[in-house]
Amino acid sequence: MEYNSATGMLLLIITGLITYKGFRDNAFMEAYLFEVDRILIDREWKRLISSGFLHGSWLHFGFNMIAMLSFSFSLELAFGVWKFLGLYFFSMIAGNLLALYIHRNHGDYRAVGASGAISGVIFASIVLFPEGSISFIGLPFAIKSWIFGLAFMLVSIFGIKKQADNIGHEAHLGGALAGVAGILVIEPGLFLQNWWVVLLLVLPTVAFLLLIIRNPAVLMIDSYWGENLSRSRWQGRRRKPGMSPEAEMDQLLDKIRHHGMNSLSRKERKRLKELREELK
C-alpha cells in the first residue's frame, strides 16, 4: 500500500481500541454488539453503530482494516474527510439495518464488525474506478473491480439465501448498496460516466430485496425462489391422502406473502419447519 489515509488510520486506531476493550470486558461487548431484540424491543439504536467498532477476533479486525485502508485513501483524496466519514457511517448503518430487517424474527441474532462500512467504501471505489484492479494477499493475480463487485453481490445474495455460514452477508450487501448510493449522492455525474457498472451492481441486488420483501418465505426454504411449490419440482412426488405437503406449504407461503411472517400461529410455524424438512 503506497499511501495511507489519515482518516482511515484514525478509524483503525479507534476501532482497534474498542475491539480490544470488547475482548477484555465481556459486559462491554454485550452492551454494544448488534442484537436484534435489544434493538427492536429495547430501542437500543446505538448498537447499529457501536457494533461496527467491535470484532469477533483479531483476524476479523485485521482483514476489515486492511480492506478499509486499501480503499480509503482514494476516496478521502477525491472527496475530503467529512464526505468519506459520511459514506463510512452511512454504509455501516445501512448494512446493519438490512441485517435487522432480514433477522427481525430472530431475536437472538447477534453480530459484530465493520463489514457494512468496509463494503460501502469498497463499492464506492468500484463505482469511481470500475476498470481498476483488486488484488488479494497470497494470490499472484488481480481482477477487474467491476468483476469483483458483481461476484461479491452474488455471493452475498446466495449467502443470505442459504444462511449456511457465520458471515454477515446481510451487512455486506446493505453496506455495498449504500456505498453505491452514497458515492452517487456525493458525485451525481458518476452515474452518467459509469452507468453500466451502477446498473450491473444495483439491479440484481434490488431485485433480490424486492423478492424477499414481497415473499419473506424465500429466506426460509432451501432452493425456493417464490415459485408455487405444488406446481414446481415437487409435482412428481407421491401425494398423501388429503392435502399434500406441497399444497399445505403453498397455503402457508401465501399467508406469509399476504400478511407477513408474524401472521403465523405457533402451530403453523412448527408445521412450516416440519414441511421444510420433509420437502428437502
pLDDT of residue 99: 95
CB distance 71 to 121 below 8 Å: yes
Distances (CA, A) of 78 to 65, 74, 132, 229, 268: 20, 6, 16, 51, 54
Domain spans of the chain, in order of start = 6-214, 221-278
pLDDT of residue 21: 96
pTM: 0.81
pLDDT of residue 95: 96
pLDDT of residue 184: 96
pLDDT of residue 228: 62
User: pLDDT, tens digit, for every residue of 203-235?
Assistant: 999 999 998 888 877 787 767 776 665 544 444
pLDDT of residue 97: 96
d(CA 89, CA 265): 38
pLDDT of residue 233: 45
First to last CA, the chain: 48
Distance of CA 228 to the CA centre of its chain: 27
More confident residue, 243 or 21: 21
CB distance 217 to 279 below 8 Å: no
pLDDT band with cut points at 50, 70 and 90 for residue 261: low
Main-chain phi, psi angles of 227, to 5 degrees: -75, 165
DSSP string, 12-59: HHHHHHHHHHHHH-HHHHHHHSEEHHHHHTT--TTHHHHGGG--SSHH
More confident residue, 85 or 104: 85
pLDDT of residue 108: 84
CB distance 197 to 126 below 8 Å: yes
d(CA 116, CA 52): 8
pLDDT of residue 236: 42
d(CA 186, CA 44): 30
pLDDT of residue 240: 45
pLDDT of residue 238: 43
pLDDT band with cut points at 50, 70 and 90 for residue 243: low
User: pLDDT, tens digit, for every residue of 140-193?
Assistant: 678 899 999 999 999 999 999 887 778 889 999 999 999 999 999 999 999 999
Over 60: is that where the pLDDT of 280 sits? no
CA angle 53, 4, 62 (to 5 degrees): 40
d(CA 125, CA 104): 31
Which CATH number applies to 6-214: 1.10.1270.20, 1.20.1540.10, 1.10.1500.10, 1.10.10.10?
1.20.1540.10
| Percent of the chain scoring above 90 in pLDDT | 56
User: pLDDT, tens digit, for every residue of 51-90?
Assistant: 999 999 999 999 999 999 988 888 998 899 999 999 999 9
What single-letter DSSP state applies at residue 144? E
* CB atoms near residue 188 (< 10 Å): 9
Mean pLDDT across the chain, nearest whole number?
85
Per-residue cell: 248? 399445505
pLDDT of residue 138: 64
Question: Pairing state of beta strands 133-135 and 142-144?
Answer: antiparallel
